[in-house]
Amino acid sequence: MTTTAPRATALDMEQVGRFAQHVGAMLTGGATTAMMVIGDRTGLYAALADGTPLTSAQLARRTGTAERYVREWLAQQAAVGFVTYNPDGETFTLPPEHAAVLASDDSPAAMIGAAPLISGLHRRTEEMARAFRTGDGISWADQDPAVWESIERFFRVGYRNSLLTEWVPAVEGLHARLEAGCRVIDVGTGRGAPLILLAGAYPASQFTGYDVHRPSVEVATQRAAAAGVADRVRFAVDHCHGYPDRDVDVITFFDTFHDLGDPVGAAAHARRALAPDGILLLVEPRAGDDLATTLATVPLAPVSFAASTFLCTSNSLSQAVGLALGSQAGEARLREVLTEAGYRTVRRVAENDFNMVLTAQP
């Protein structure tokens, strides 16, 4: 809502033009995200994945969709450079490198699972604008289901790429303990993707995932059964400082710690639950210790700060204490929280473009 006219100053019109182009690119991104969701839901990307040049009629036949819509969708995808267009024959091709990012969640480069997240943010703009005025939170349970779906799909790609091959080996002694058989608890487990990966690789260990969100716990339970690891993975509804376990070998928080209303309390509860030689493992979004560093070094900072506003900060503010670390809290701030909760020797053991991995000893 605009209430005041802009001040009349001499504008650098070239700069205005450049910035307008930048804003146009942002609008393109928003509109394209909606088209990506359509391509994902209707199987259009998957049907293009073998690289065959197809007309809109051929693609519509392959996918059982309406040609007139498919033609419009393909034109937009060509305009944004996702597919190439050949006017001779009016065919469209998805290059294999683009298919690796768009056509399936199974590729290590898959990003298509992130698209529904953006739809989910758009579906809460009214609630969010109200929260900006009141300061109230919005809990994870009150988010659009597209958000729950997207977090599972997009984060799972990163876990599949790094958890077993980079993060576990980076924590001294962890692989050996998991292989010998130990007890692992995952807090804020959501739909359980990382715990199910661990359970698949380490059949001698026992895994429990806790989350306050019952629908997520139910999906996680189904996923464990489908993955054939239900004998060693259990999911249950519980709060980050409610679970009763003691003498636990490993407690993990995968992209959850900063979402909690009371991360100090959650870390202190985990410390009491851990065995004296236990390991706390936090996987958090990679961020600098100050905003300037984060802006300069985090590739998806614009998306992260949007998600942090709508999901992470708002979930934390919906709970007691409401510390609201934000998704880009940074290592130094996380260290402070862990130290306040009584941990010693906090270490950063691994990182990639998206995540950093911290460990702490009780």
Ligand X SMILES: C[S@@+](CC[C@H](N)C(=O)[O-])C[C@H]1O[C@@H](n2cnc3c(N)ncnc32)[C@H](O)[C@@H]1O
- Which residue number, 74 or 260, has a Cβ lying nearer to ligand X? 260
Please tell me the distance from the alpha carbon of residue 212 to that of residue 171, in angstroms, as a whole number: 28
Closest Cα partner for 300 from 154, 103, 97? 154
- Which residue number, 39 or 209, has a Cβ lying nearer to ligand X? 209
Instruction: State which H helix or E strand residue 200 sits in.
Output: helix 193-201
Q: Which one-letter amino acid corresponds to residue 158?
A: G
Please tell me the distance from the alpha carbon of residue 29 to that of residue 23, in angstroms, as a whole number: 10
| Residue 196 CB, nearest approach to ligand X (Å) | 10
Please tell me the distance from the alpha carbon of residue 192 to that of residue 218, in angstroms, as a whole number: 10
| Residue 106 CB, nearest approach to ligand X (Å) | 17
In the complex, the residues that contact ligand X under the rule CB under 6 A are 140, 151-152, 155, 187-190, 193, 211-213, 216, 239-240, 254-256, 259-260, 315, 319
| Residue 166 CB, nearest approach to ligand X (Å) | 16
- Which residue number, 20 or 225, has a Cβ lying nearer to ligand X? 225
For residue 309 the two structure tokens come to 């506003």
| Residue 349 CB, nearest approach to ligand X (Å) | 18
What totals of helices (H) and strands (E) does the chain contain, helices first? Answer: 17, 9
Q: Which residue do the tokens 């040049």 mark? A: 53
Q: Which one-letter amino acid corresponds to residue 8?
A: A
| Residue 135 CB, nearest approach to ligand X (Å) | 18
| Residue 336 CB, nearest approach to ligand X (Å) | 20
For residue 53 the two structure tokens come to 């040049």
- Which residue number, 98 or 258, has a Cβ lying nearer to ligand X? 258
- Which residue number, 39 or 113, has a Cβ lying nearer to ligand X? 113
Please tell me the distance from the alpha carbon of residue 51 to that of residue 64, in angstroms, as a whole number: 19
Closest Cα partner for 309 from 284, 291, 292, 326? 326
> Cα-flanking dihedrals φ and ψ of residue 274, to 5°?
-75, 150
For residue 115 the two structure tokens come to 């698209």
Closest Cα partner for 225 from 256, 191, 249, 260? 191
- Which residue number, 76 or 139, has a Cβ lying nearer to ligand X? 139
Q: How many CB atoms lie within 10 A of CB 107?
A: 16
- Which residue number, 152 or 331, has a Cβ lying nearer to ligand X? 152
| Residue 255 CB, nearest approach to ligand X (Å) | 4
- Which residue number, 42 or 255, has a Cβ lying nearer to ligand X? 255
Closest Cα partner for 151 from 281, 304, 270, 32? 304
| Residue 362 CB, nearest approach to ligand X (Å) | 19
| Residue 129 CB, nearest approach to ligand X (Å) | 22
Degrees (nearest 5) of the Cα angle 295, 300, 306?
Answer: 85
Cβ contacts of 102 within 8 Å, gap of 6 or more: 36, 39, 45, 82, 94, 110, 111, 112
Using CB positions, name the residue nearest to ligand X.
190
- Which residue number, 39 or 261, has a Cβ lying nearer to ligand X? 261
